Amino acid sequence: MKSEPQSKEFIQGLARGLEVIRAFGTTRPQMTLTDVARETGFSRASARRCLLTLQELGYVRSDGRLFALTPRILSLGFGFLSSQGISTRIHPILKQASQDLGEAVALAMPEDDVMVCVAHAPGEQRILTIGLTVGSRMPLLTTAIGRAYLAFLPDDERDALVATAPVEAHTQATITDRAQLRLSLEQIRHAGHAIVDEEFEDGVRSIGVPVVKPDGTCVGALNVIVSSSRTSLDDLVAVHLPVIERCADAVSQALL
């Protein structure tokens, strides 16, 4: 758990409840009280109070031993999706790009040192063995969508994230050297797009572009994921890049 701000206005119980919610995930759909305490770093007593409160509010269910989130938890994220016009304005743009390419197109925005998928239009084939859906979290340093975002941040913000964001070798091709990553980001900024070739998953390559608002602020990134056996690097740039660049421009306008 992150250090808690020492502010008179800070509600520790609320912060802990949110940490408990965030502890659940794909690899932890159900957890015991002991599991939750271990994942959050809370005492068993604190974890128990949070879980029982969330259960009383309908966000968590339990069979007496295992706890799991309920569909009601989706209401917490719906406000963000609605306020940004994800369903009404953004998703149709991504869907059109996906239909044009026959591939999945995703929009992600930053959360601390990861990118979170906020909109996704599936393609004709599922490429990644790990399914990508709204809410999926992707590393900043080893994905095209993360690098496309990072490259267009102010220098100080970019350098701080390159120095501290987690970097893991997902395949033998993954770039993990931070100095090399800094150089790569400079090249991406000059080119206007990022390509990750079998660094995140064997047999998969991806191209990403930033979503930049008219004032120059980079607010996220888009990517297309393809099979390396079906799509060459040349085609990725010649065919896919123009489509997602137009898509990024349209998304930027829709986010105004």
State the CB neighbour count (10 A cutoff) for residue 135: 13
**β-pair type (104-111, 137-139):** unpaired
DSSP assignments along 26-39, one per residue: TTBSEE-HHHHHHH
Residue whose token pair is 């996704």? 120
Distance between CA atoms of residues 36 and 23, nearest Å: 7
Distance between CA atoms of residues 98 and 76, nearest Å: 28
Q: Which domains does the chain have, with CATH numbers?
A: 12-71 (1.10.10.10), 84-254 (3.30.450.40)
pTM (two decimals): 0.77
99 with 116: CB under 8 angstroms? no
The dihedral built from the CA positions of residue 122, 255, 19 and 223, taken in this order, carries a sign that is positive
Sheet holding 60-62, edge to edge: 30-31, 67-69, 60-62
* Model pLDDT, residue 81: 66
State the CB neighbour count (10 A cutoff) for residue 108: 29
Distance between CA atoms of residues 94 and 150, nearest Å: 21
Mean pLDDT, contiguous 10-residue spans, the chain (256 residues): 62 90 86 95 94 94 92 76 70 93 92 90 63 83 96 95 94 95 96 96 94 92 92 95 96 85
* Model pLDDT, residue 85: 60
* Model pLDDT, residue 134: 82
**Nearest CA to 106 among 246, 252, 201, 244?**
244
